[in-house]
Structure 1
Amino acid sequence: MTVLTIHIGAHKTGTTALQRALDGNAAAIQAQGVLYPDVCRFHHAQHRLAFALKGMADPVRGDRPDLAAEAGALTAALDATDLPKVLVSSEEFFSAPPERIAALRAVLDGRAVRLVATVRRPDAMFLSIWNQKAKQPGNGFARMASSFLDDPRSLDPDLDFRSCLQAWTDAFGPEALTLLRHEEGPPVAQMLGALGCPPDAVAVPGPANASLSGAAVEAMRLAKAVGLSTEAQRNLLTLTQEVFADHPPFHLAAAERRRIVAAFEPGNDALFAAMGVENPYRVETLDFPDVPAGPGPNIRLRDLMMLLGEVLDFAA
């Protein structure tokens, strides 16, 4: 029987790099006995199936994918292949509603299904998610990172690993889940290992989501807070990447990072205990970096004046 592996995320664990590698090397992994099917596609992955689970619109087509149609396309691909393994991927799967995951399980009843998920230390994942939201032009997200510290879960549901994974294991069984950790190696090599393939079976593309410095991210957040147009935000994104290229990443104080880790510690204790291992994401076992050396890690008035100078010089 063909085994279907569903890579469910989470966000900010190298998913885009993995999906680009799989999409660009479909023939290479097919030679290893793994089909990365051309169904349910949005960009490089099977996001339309995940959109159907979450009731999300396809950003390009504008429609809301239908679960029956997308799941039907997947089962047709499973039936048509003679390869022993099929892999589908979307980080949007991770926080899908339990009742929709159960509906997918019903469609796949009688088929062999594996789940692969990757988690990441909560404070690092928190910062990565906040950076992504803050830097994105036109999304209206302008909240300070510190405003989420009382309830880090409110930033993004993917941060609550235990709740998200519980929904999947309730539907498919705990034995179906393979849990990977972002810190244990490159995402492509880890996924290939989980599939039983050589870690160098596919070429790895360059970074998919360019990181911004703390000053650049804060400039973007402030632009949205004061209501600059989306076009102005796009121009600002390009400019800040150049002006603040030598600045360090956005920084939270060590005490703030400890608060984030502590907020998820009970749930992560239970999650890893269920898998027979200790929680690696505990306050007493993690290192928390001090403020980076060099320019201020986040934006300062001096940085804003530098940015204004660049704009004025360009206008002149």
Structure 2
Amino acid sequence: MSKTLFVHIGHYKTGTTALQVFLERSDALLAASQFEYPDIWKHHSKHSAFAFSILRAAGVDKIMYDYRDPTPPQAMWANLFDHIRSVGQQNTLISSEEFMRIGQFPKAVDILQAIMDNRPPDLNVKAIAYLRDPGSHVASWHNQLIKMNFPVADISAALDGDIEDIHFDYRRALEPWMKVLGRENVIIRPYIRDPANPAALHYDLCQNIGITATEGAITVANDPNPRFDDRVTELVRLMQNMKFPRPTINAIRNQAVTYLTAQDAVRYGGSDGISKARVQSQEALSWLSDIPNCPLPLDSFATSLPTAPDPETVNTQLLLGFVFSELIQLRQRTNNLNVTGLETRIAALEAKLAAKE
């Protein structure tokens, strides 16, 4: 009897952690559709060892998260194939966004090809991948690298080195899987993020691989992998690259988030003054246009009504405001130091040390 192995290969920053946590906690739901999300080589809800073993055998040593298992990839995958044959379920599903990196390294693709060529003849293998637009994906992955405390350049420079091509070149990421498994066996889906329905992505995965999940059957917990507030990402990146201690970075980041949250409450808590001013400005210009021989260039005025600053400018100003507030507080603390008293205490301590010597 033939069986099917589904490999959820990512992409990164497309809800993979949320899906993995859901799959690990849904044994009964999966079993009802003849699916298993196995414990074999699973760690932190995901099956990254199957990808890391291939990447390490291909000579990859970057972003390996201290992976040290010596098991060769051929042995690890053979172990998985034996497990699939031994269980009663028709379908097996494994998941790791690290699978997506295999396309970055030709030698890793060759190893994957050899493994799939040697799988049991009655085992079908299918891959499923989720993609989002490259712009938001790259920004989100850059944010994630900073969150994980990787030294990384600004996003422009990072795209020329720190960020691998598979994060924006989706052909490089997916074409190797299509060549290994066959185009018909690679399912590509758009990443879904619907605040009104947090389980939308989970239902989409189930529907597209054959897991029956009726409405209300899936409940979603809080995001297990929330991103940094984008407004503090650059601040954190600079501190990391300057080798600030991690506790210091976390403390400053938390202070920044608290400051920005307070400023947001002020910004969004009142009326929309810009919209009101635009309406009144336009009405006043209309009134002026009715004045005979008005010398004002009203058409030009109409193209320059009060306008809210763009979000990027606002966020830059807010972050600068936080930095200046920290500098002001530091200056105040310095000015309030009792330098004379401090010098007296130091002199007394030095005298005691000298006496003991």
> In structure 2, the residue corresponding to 1:94 is in which secondary structure?
helix
User: What residue is the counterpart of 1:11 in the other structure?
Assistant: 12
Distance in 2 (alpha carbons) for counterparts of 1:296 and 1:86: 46
Q: 1:129 aligns with which of 136, 141, 155?
A: 141
User: What residue is the counterpart of 2:114 in the other structure?
Assistant: 103
Q: 2:219 aligns with which of 162, 182, 203?
A: 203
Distance in 2 (alpha carbons) for counterparts of 1:35 and 1:314: 60
What does residue range 46-61 of structure 1 map to in structure 2 within 5 Å?
Answer: 46-55=47-56, 59=65
Distance in 1 (alpha carbons) for counterparts of 2:193 and 2:223: 18
User: What residue is the counterpart of 2:76 in the other structure?
Assistant: 70
Deviation at 1:70, TM superposition (A): 1.9
Distance in 2 (alpha carbons) for counterparts of 1:291 and 1:183: 27
Confirm or deny that 1:146 pairs with 2:139: no
Deviation at 1:292, TM superposition (A): 2.3
Task: Extract unaligned runs of 5+ from structure 1.
Answer: 249-289
Say whether the 8 Å CA contact 1:50–1:92 is kept in structure 2. yes
User: What residue is the counterpart of 1:120 in the other structure?
Assistant: 132
Confirm or deny that 1:212 pairs with 2:212: no
Q: 1:165 aligns with which of 174, 198, 201?
A: 174
| Structure 1 residues 261-285: Cα deviation after superposition (integer angstroms, max 9, x where no partner) | xxxxxxxxxxxxxxxxxxxxxxxxx
The verdict on how the C-alpha distance between 1:106 and 1:231 changes in structure 2, with shifts beyond 3 A counting, is farther
Distance in 1 (alpha carbons) for counterparts of 2:333 and 2:220: 38
Return the letter of the residue paired with 1:170.
K
Distance in 1 (alpha carbons) for counterparts of 2:252 and 2:83: 44
**Greater RCO, 1 or 2 (C-alpha within 8 Å, sep 6+):** 1
Distance in 1 (alpha carbons) for counterparts of 2:177 and 2:157: 30
Distance in 2 (alpha carbons) for counterparts of 1:295 and 1:101: 48
Distance in 2 (alpha carbons) for counterparts of 1:43 and 1:168: 24
Deviation at 1:184, TM superposition (A): 7.6
User: What residue is the counterpart of 1:89 in the other structure?
Assistant: 95
Number of matched pairs: 271
Say whether the 8 Å CA contact 1:48–1:65 is kept in structure 2. no
> In structure 1, the residue corresponding to 2:146 is in which secondary structure?
helix
> In structure 2, the residue corresponding to 1:114 is in which secondary structure?
strand
User: What residue is the counterpart of 1:267 in the other structure?
Assistant: none
Return the letter of the residue paired with 2:141.
I
Distance in 1 (alpha carbons) for counterparts of 2:13 and 2:257: 20
The verdict on how the C-alpha distance between 1:11 and 1:224 changes in structure 2, with shifts beyond 3 A counting, is same
> In structure 1, the residue corresponding to 2:311 is in which secondary structure?
coil
> In structure 1, the residue corresponding to 2:211 is in which secondary structure?
coil
The verdict on how the C-alpha distance between 1:243 and 1:308 changes in structure 2, with shifts beyond 3 A counting, is farther
Q: 1:301 aligns with which of 312, 317, 320?
A: 320
Say whether the 8 Å CA contact 1:214–1:298 is kept in structure 2. no
Residue identity over aligned pairs, in percent, reads 21
Deviation at 1:311, TM superposition (A): 7.9
Which structure is higher in helix share? 2
The verdict on how the C-alpha distance between 1:107 and 1:42 changes in structure 2, with shifts beyond 3 A counting, is farther
| Structure 1 residues 138-194: Cα deviation after superposition (integer angstroms, max 9, x where no partner) | x222x1123346x5x862333211111111111111111111011486331211111
| Structure 1 residues 197-255: Cα deviation after superposition (integer angstroms, max 9, x where no partner) | 2345433222122232233111101102322123433433444443334689xxxxxxx
RMSD (Å) for aligned C-alpha atoms: 3.1
Distance in 2 (alpha carbons) for counterparts of 1:79 and 1:64: 24
TM-score scaled by structure 1?
A: 0.75
Return the letter of the residue paired with 1:52.
S
> In structure 1, the residue corresponding to 2:101 is in which secondary structure?
coil
Distance in 2 (alpha carbons) for counterparts of 1:64 and 1:298: 50
Deviation at 1:53, TM superposition (A): 1.6
Confirm or deny that 1:34 pairs with 2:42: no
Q: 2:189 aligns with which of 167, 177, 180?
A: 180
Distance in 2 (alpha carbons) for counterparts of 1:20 and 1:140: 28
User: What residue is the counterpart of 1:281 in the other structure?
Assistant: none
The verdict on how the C-alpha distance between 1:231 and 1:184 changes in structure 2, with shifts beyond 3 A counting, is closer
Say whether the 8 Å CA contact 2:35–2:93 is kept in structure 1. yes
Say whether the 8 Å CA contact 1:9–1:90 is kept in structure 2. yes
